[in-house]
Amino acid sequence: MFGTAAEINLDALKENFINIRNFLPERVKIAGVIKANAYGHDLKTIAKALASYGVDYIAVANIREAVAVRRVLNEMPILVMGYTAPEDYDKAVKNTITLTMFRLEDLRALNLNASYDNAVMKVHIKYDTGFNRLGYKDEATVISDLKQVLQLEWLSIEGIFTHLALKDADSDTQQMKKFDALIKQLKLEGIHIPIAHACDSIGAMIYPDAPYQMVRLGAALYGYCSRPVPFKLRPVMSLKTSVSHLKWIEPGESVSYDGLFTADSRALIATLPIGYADGLPRNLSKGGVVLIQEKIYPIVGLICMDQCMVDVTGAANIQIGDSVELFGEAASLSDVAVMAGTNRNELLSRVAMRVPRRIVQDGEVIATVDYLLGEGDYGNC
């Protein structure tokens, strides 16, 4: 391989899914979260793969992502977890998309829209237990509104959910108690909602026996969880590039913009065709490293939009075209995230559209997704 690409290992994805599926109680459904282009891994590839593994639901952030998934999965339930504007309800109805709702006027508007197509729309109700982002805040309002929604002909309340802030165990407990109290009160009011869910990847790992019917898995599927996991999670994405140029610089010579790196002694500099426009954070200019031939080398000078430079002085036999790993199975994404002052999910989701995704299965590249030149063949993904 020459140039920059993200390798997407479907074997690792499948292994992660199976291990999590075996870890969770059998009664618990799994919603695979593939928002933000499946955390950068390619939305359509991951959607098709998860469907083949037996995921119960697909969850996305917005209606455009949902419609993109529907184009490759005809039957899979798809949940939009974020807000959907009324002008997009027609897209939801025509593509059988489950929407998250938390206002009576929006529920009524969706019901009206669905009536034009004689389509009963499933909805999930969002309840805010302390995250303070989206959702009903008041229990009495939820109950009052749902009683009215039950009279609407074209809506079916399939789910109700909340989101844990995961500050600490005590705050998690308080949020779940608030959620449990609502569910109990709904039952007392004769309102039955089949699916309740509260846990994302972290919540699913630390509260596998929480009495809910579904979990929403994102980061854990892609190989990461910031809490202990009783099995190995394998990174699915490896971001790689190659050496495009080698040059010696003399003492006193500088590298890149503003001359922030100046050589103290003669140094061999490797140029790499990857920069911040590809998703490599510019603040890795100080402290960032890469992996070449199983050895670590420092990034030097400011990272450019399209390229960066690495000090490979002392390396034996480095050549133009040699593979370089920025993160993945060999180079820790966790370490890169710490150096960049961010989290792993941001780094994954920031891998740019101009970076091709090379889909790997059974050790072989089975497809390449290239957003600029055409998405290509998804093969057996």
Residues labelled as active-site residues: 35, 257
Tokens matching residue 371:
């957003």
Q: Quick check: 314 and 329 in contact, CB under 8 A? A: no
Judge whether 133 is annotated as a binding position. yes
Please give the sequence-ordered ranges of beta strands (E in DSSP) within the chain, or none if there are none: 5-9, 29-33, 57-60, 78-80, 98-101, 121-126, 155-161, 195-199, 214-217, 237-242, 245-249, 254-255, 261-262, 267-272, 289-292, 295-300, 308-311, 323-327, 357-361, 364-369
**Is residue 288 within a helix (H) or strand (E), and if so which, with residue range?**
none
Tokens matching residue 95:
């593509």
Residue 359's DSSP bridge partners are 8, 367
Q: Is 29 exposed, middle or buried (0-12, 13-18, 19+ CB in 10 A)?
A: middle
Q: Which residues contact 239 (CB under 8 A, 6 or more apart)?
A: 4, 6, 7, 274, 279, 325, 326, 327, 328, 351, 355
Main-chain dihedrals φ then ψ at residue 50, nearest 5 degrees: -65, -40
Please give the sequence-ordered ranges of beta strands (E in DSSP) within 130-232, or none if there are none: 155-161, 195-199, 214-217
Q: Residues within the annotated binding site?
A: 133, 305
Q: Residues within the annotated binding site for substrate?
A: 133, 305
